Amino acid sequence: MRALFVAFYFPPAGGGGVQRTLKFCKYLPEFGIEVHVLTPDDPKWFARDEQLLAQVPDSTVVHRARFLGPSSSFRADALAGRRGLSRLAVEARYAYQRALVPDKATPWMATAVPAGIRLARKHGIDVVLSTSPPPSVHLTAEAIAAATRLPWVADFRDSWLANPHRDYEKLGVRAKRVVEERMARSVGRRATRLVAATGAIGEELGRLHPTALERVTVIENGADFDDFEPLPTGEDDGRLTIVHAGSFFGKRTPRVFLQALRELLDRRPELGGKILARFVGEMRPEDRAAASRLGLDGAWEETGFRSYGDALAAQRAADALLLLIPDADGRGDTVLSGKVFEYIAAARPILAAVPPGGMAADLVRRSGSGEVADGEDAAAVSAALERLADRWLNGGLPDIELAEPLRDELSRRSRARDLAEVLKSAVG
């Protein structure tokens, strides 16, 4: 059986959003699925990871359609150092991006839809699968499926209408959301099957159409334990090194954690020089400024963007891992990103500064992978960090061993098996 994946983020794109699709490509052939991927040629990614190209399986056939949309760079970075007309030009460009509905990848439809139709007919595709974000890929797949009369599966890695990083108080965001709701209802009505990365996203999809809920399957993200097998643990340099992997955007910020670290060092001055927070990714200028104001120089460092392989190596070499999920007015409860599973596969203890009643907290507790603290409460995070530091001082922090049934449940291979069943049922 042949499946055409419509995926905006695919190597050489970097970042966490690539991994779900890439791992499906790796494991689906075991279950009788030949994978073709339709992806942009160069969507001006702000994160590129050329090393990931080597992980694209030989069995995956990759097709690239020209990208016509705007750059994916962050507005703050693009405005840095600009004045006068140059600054106005950048602001105009970002005003155009904000006006695009549902997202700034929408112009890609102009080339992706005809390319997808040609590919489906030429290669005898049996089913189309779209994976978001960005949500516009579902509109692309909807058009391809309608033109070719093929079944279509829509996979949602994130919520479309309740994104924790969007400010729904802004008038422009609310206005776009009205249009996006209509688009989402069309997807809910026309998709043969719907796949959600969390139960909460599945519930949202189930409300899009009276018959949608019966077409929803929850397939969570997973862990590829093979990625960590060859990686060595770190050497003892006399410091508790806690690593956060990933860049900061939207409502995600390290500032509560930095305040918690400051409080711990004030409370336990003997820990001065013995704790290092390493941020493997990009920090925003305001986050760097917050660390400096707190007098944490020497207790934190930023590496900038690193390749996926380097980021995994940094996690494995860490003494502990820092997981940050914002509350976002309660929307953070439903966030269960691929990063959570990646951290569990790294087998290092996790300090989860997350909504304490949320899905990420539940998985960290269920797997016995570390400490959970309310990510909005600096005192609670500081106390959890102190417990971690005391364990490190009194014998070290050993690897977290998972029971084999749980390890299999969380594996990317098991997730691919579940997706293969959905694809086959859509065709059937």
The whole-number average pLDDT for the span 201-221 is 95
How does pLDDT run across 5-21, given as a tens digit for each residue?
Answer: 999 999 999 888 899 99
Q: In whole angstroms, what is the distance from residue 155 CA to residue 153 CA?
A: 6
The answer to the question of residue 406 being in a domain is: no
Q: Is 70 exceeded by the pLDDT of residue 287?
A: yes
Band (247; pLDDT cuts 50, 70, 90): confident
The answer to the question of residue 233 being in a domain is: yes
What 3-state class would DSSP assign to 68? coil
How does pLDDT run across 262-286, given as a tens digit for each residue?
Answer: 999 999 999 999 999 999 998 999 9
Q: In whole angstroms, what is the distance from residue 138 CA to residue 86 CA?
A: 35
The answer to the question of residue 282 being in a domain is: yes
The answer to the question of residue 399 being in a domain is: no
**pLDDT the model gives residue 278:** 98
Secondary structure element (H or E) that encloses residue 14, with its range:
none
Closest CA to 208 of 138, 297, 267: 138
**pLDDT the model gives residue 70:** 74
Question: How many separate domains does the chain show?
Answer: 2
Q: Which of the two residues, 187 and 171, has the higher pLDDT score?
A: 187
How does pLDDT run across 348-405, given as a tens digit for each residue?
Answer: 999 999 999 999 999 999 999 999 999 999 999 999 999 999 999 998 899 999 999 9
**pLDDT the model gives residue 95:** 60
Same domain (yes/no): 204, 271: no
Q: Which of the two residues, 102 and 146, has the higher pLDDT score?
A: 146
Same domain (yes/no): 316, 387: yes
What 3-state class would DSSP assign to 388? helix
Q: In whole angstroms, what is the distance from residue 332 CA to residue 362 CA?
A: 13
Same domain (yes/no): 245, 369: yes
How does pLDDT run across 45-99, given as a tens digit for each residue?
Answer: 768 899 999 999 999 999 999 998 776 655 455 555 566 665 565 555 556 566 6
DSSP string covering 109-122: HHHHHHHHHHHHHH
List the CATH number of the domain containing 299. Answer: 3.40.50.2000
Q: Which of the two residues, 42 and 255, has the higher pLDDT score?
A: 255
Same domain (yes/no): 190, 311: no
Band (170; pLDDT cuts 50, 70, 90): low
Torsion of CA 354, 358, 360, 365, to 10 degrees: 100
The whole-number average pLDDT for the span 295-320 is 95
Same domain (yes/no): 379, 284: yes
Band (175; pLDDT cuts 50, 70, 90): low
The answer to the question of residue 69 being in a domain is: yes
Same domain (yes/no): 231, 348: yes
The whole-number average pLDDT for the span 28-49 is 90
The answer to the question of residue 403 being in a domain is: no
User: What letter represents residue 31's amino acid?
Assistant: F
The answer to the question of residue 274 being in a domain is: yes
How does pLDDT run across 396-417, given as a tens digit for each residue?
Answer: 899 999 999 999 999 999 999 9
**pLDDT the model gives residue 249:** 81
**pLDDT the model gives residue 169:** 60
Same domain (yes/no): 334, 364: yes
The answer to the question of residue 254 being in a domain is: yes
Domain membership of residue 61 as a residue range: 2-222+411-427
- What's the N-to-C CA distance of the chain in angstroms? 11
Same domain (yes/no): 253, 156: no
What residues contact 82, with CB distance under 8 A and at least 6 apart?
90
How does pLDDT run across 311-328, given as a tens digit for each residue?
Answer: 999 999 999 999 999 998
Same domain (yes/no): 193, 255: no
